[in-house]
Structure 1
Amino acid sequence: MFSDLLDLVLPASCALCHRPDGPLCPGCRAAVEECLHPSPRVALPSPCPPGMPQCWVSGEASGALRAVVTAYKDEQRRDLARPLSAWLAPALGAATGSNAGARRALRGRGLVVVPVPGSPRARRRRGDVPLRPLVTSAAEGLAGRALVADVLAPTRITRDQSALDAAERALNLAGAMVVRERHRRVVEGAVCVVVDDLITTGATLAEASRALRDAGAAEVLAAAIGATRRRLAVDGQTDGPPLERVWRQV
């Protein structure tokens, strides 16, 4: 309530340009929308880590879109939750709508939507788990029964991923997640969708999927707001120089 009253007195600034027109001014919102695809697309990192699930994304993880995600997570701009969840929702909808098992799960026992767990270090620094409300809000648009569940837990401390290459990230995360014992019944035999904000090498999604499959998940899909373009290919195919991966409209 205090925050709402404060916003009436002191208008929020734009998270990117800091002008008094927040959470995103029209110019910065337009810059973000240039990073979004006309419709969600399948993203496959190159090289693709073993066990990487099919992942749908709404846009390219660069420029203004990446800056908005960073502001939301690390600069306490939680007022960006609404636009970010709105950009995540199409990818989540495409991931479930394109898969027969997911559609059946939504009509039956329910689809299990799994946010990628943040590291304990990041949780202490931020004071919360910023991905969770985005996933919860985006899942509300799914047609059917969807359970957003924090079923994954870290098994050990991992290194900061930001300075690691693809091989180092995969090694850093190998065996780093497990399904919580009390949630194994939820996962066993279920169709699960792992959700992250942005993907770069796919190592996080691959490890999360491995943990879910080890716990008996029948199928694992993935969704994210955006993926790094320079590391993307589709169906293992590339077009052009190694750093110029292409998207296939699906």
Structure 2
Amino acid sequence: MLVLRDLVDLVLPVTCALCHRPGARLCRTCRGEVRACLSVDVTRCRPDPEPAGMPSCWVAGAATGALRALVTAYKDEDRRDLAGALGALLAPALRRAAAGPEARAALVGRGLLVVPVLGSPRARRRRGDVPLVSVVQAASRALPGRVVVAPVLVPTRVTRDQSRLGAQARADNLAHSMAVPERREPTVRGSVCVVVDDLVTTGATLTEAARALTDAGAAGVVAAAIGATPRRFGGGSRPIS
């Protein structure tokens, strides 16, 4: 019996999200290009300069080339059918963050709270949703034990577009721009939180999210992302390590 996805595919045949060839959401060639962006093992992300207060963060690979294009297709080119594929890429980093010493030390007797970061209000209006939430939900199914996906962060003020800002300007732009509403504080208080972004550039977003969660009473905060971008600011650069 045809299901809804089959009916949609009859009208709109599936094409590769990257090269647009018909037949698969991600063709064999493009899958290989995405795999080439991934690390052999999940790696620790350390931006340079590393923001004060940035949580320990684990990523699956380098946010360049096909991997960055895949995230862009999902978020901005209406390819929400890629949520499962991106969740599979995120899952190893999420597992590694949850298994780290910071999380283990605080997890005794408690479950894990997985917190997607905010998109900007401008981006949410343009897209009509928060695409990262579906990716995080897909990735969280791979975690053992009691896991709750909790989009508890809300904006406290308007921020500038980040795309052309350097590391310090991004940190200043995002400082105290997120909070946990009072009604959601009981969810966060005493919990271990894994804050999740899709791609890490300077670490400013994860740092601000961690501050907001800590202020709301989180017992510990670590982070995970699909990829991290090696960037050069102030004459220094450090790749994913």
TM > 0.5 fold call: yes
Q: Distance in 2 between matches of 1:131 and 1:33?
A: 21
Task: Note the 1:3-152 alignment, pairs <5 A.
Answer: 3-99=5-101, 101-102=103-104, 105=107, 108-152=109-153
Q: Distance in 1 between matches of 2:130 and 2:109?
A: 29
Q: Distance in 1 between matches of 2:195 and 2:154?
A: 13
Unaligned runs of 5+ in 2: none
Q: Distance in 1 between matches of 2:28 and 2:184?
A: 43
Give the partner amino acid of 1:66: R
Give the aligned partner of residue 182 of structure 1.
183
Give the aligned partner of residue 242 of structure 1.
236
Q: Distance in 1 between matches of 2:101 and 2:21?
A: 43
Two-structure CA RMSD over aligned residues (Å): 1.8
Q: Aligned with 1:182: secondary structure?
A: helix
Give the aligned partner of residue 236 of structure 1.
none
Q: Distance in 2 between matches of 1:231 and 1:110?
A: 38
In the alignment of these two chains, the number of paired residues is 238
Task: Note the 1:213-224 alignment, pairs <5 A.
Answer: 213-224=214-225
Out of 147-156 and 223-232, give the one that drifted further: 223-232
Q: Aligned with 1:229: secondary structure?
A: coil
Deviation at 1:3, TM superposition (A): 4.6
Give the aligned partner of residue 209 of structure 1.
210
Q: Aligned with 2:163: secondary structure?
A: helix
**1:55 to 1:101, Cα distance in 2 relative to 1, 3 A:** closer
Out of 5-14 and 215-224, give the one that drifted further: 5-14
Deviation at 1:100, TM superposition (A): 5.7
> 1:35-86 CA distances to partner (integer Å, 9 max, x unpaired)?
0011111001110111100000001000000000001000101111111000
Deviation at 1:198, TM superposition (A): 0.2
* Aligned residues of 2:97 and 2:103 also touching (Cα < 8 A): no
Out of 159-168 and 86-95, give the one that drifted further: 159-168
Structure 1 length normalisation: TM-score? 0.90
Q: Aligned with 1:46: secondary structure?
A: coil
* Aligned residues of 1:108 and 1:145 also touching (Cα < 8 A): no
Q: Aligned with 1:142: secondary structure?
A: coil
Q: Distance in 2 between matches of 1:142 and 1:112?
A: 11
Structure 2 length normalisation: TM-score? 0.93
* Aligned residues of 2:115 and 2:150 also touching (Cα < 8 A): yes
Q: Distance in 2 between matches of 1:118 and 1:100?
A: 26
Unaligned runs of 5+ in 1: 233-240
Deviation at 1:109, TM superposition (A): 2.3
Give the aligned partner of residue 197 of structure 1.
198
